[in-house]
Amino acid sequence: MSPPPPELIRVLIVDDHALYRRGLQTVLATEEGIEIVGEAADGIEAVAQAEETLPDVIVMDVSMPKRGGIDACRVIRQRVPSARILMLTSSDDEANLFEAVRAGANGYLLKDVPPEEVAAGIRGLHAGQSLLSPMMATKLLTEFNQMSVQATAAAEASPAEGIELPRLTDRELEILKLVARGRLNREIAAELFISENTVRNHIRNILDKLQMHSRMEAAMYAVRQRLIDPGE
């Protein structure tokens, strides 16, 4: 008996440029295992479509009229928390990158990447991974290091007392450090000699404790709070 076909990844496309939206829809429609369940031209429509279609992954432009992608991301995170959000942008402005991460985006790519990379990103996000282009990953790592230096200086200047941080187990801290270094679930599992399912469970617990929506956001928070040192 042949195995059942893989579950379709339900995708919502959000972009204010109709030609780009149509082009992306045409390309993704040819990808096995991906189903386009809706499209939207701005952030307001994106929120409404997300609530109506309950997509697995939302591919959304950062800059749009009426309500931008980052603002829409914040709202969708609250109303459709199961959706994974991949932000696309034509600008490599790191300010947008950091805001998108803080808003709960799970991935961030420049629009000039090949369409097949967007499809691979959708599959990766659906599998529980985070996604950044190499350029954006470098920018985020630089931000990690800057936050670590600032946090250390602030702590030395005014040591904090009585501040209760989320209680992560030793294993959770170990995994969070590997997440901050950009390790994939399978790489973490191999390094720690545990299953990928165990890694996913630990990451889910970490996000719950930190009240975060994405791996990247948790890593940035952890550096800011001096829970980890990205230079380790």
Order of all β-strands in the sheet with 57-61: 34-40, 9-14, 57-61, 84-89, 107-110, 131-132
Q: Whose CA is closest to 177, among 150, 151, 199? A: 199
Q: With a threshold of 0.85, does the pTM exceed it?
A: no
Task: Write the CA distances from 26 to 23, 89, 160, integer angstroms.
Answer: 5, 19, 54
Query: Over the stretch 19-78, which tens digit does the pLDDT of each residue have?
Result: 989 989 998 988 989 999 999 999 999 999 999 999 999 999 998 888 889 999 999 988
In a domain, 206, yes or no: yes
Dihedrals phi, psi of 163, to nearest 5 degrees:
-85, 120
Residue 110 domain-assigned? Answer: yes
What gap in Å lies between CA 173 and CA 92, rounded to an integer? 30
230 within some domain: no
We report the CATH number of the domain holding residue 73 as 3.40.50.2300
Is pLDDT above 70 for 159?
A: no
Q: Is residue 164 in a domain?
A: yes
Cα–Cα distance, 140 to 4 (Å, whole number): 39
Instruction: Indicate the number of domains in the chain.
Output: 2
- H-helix or E-strand spanning residue 219: helix 215-224
pLDDT of 137 > 80? The answer is no
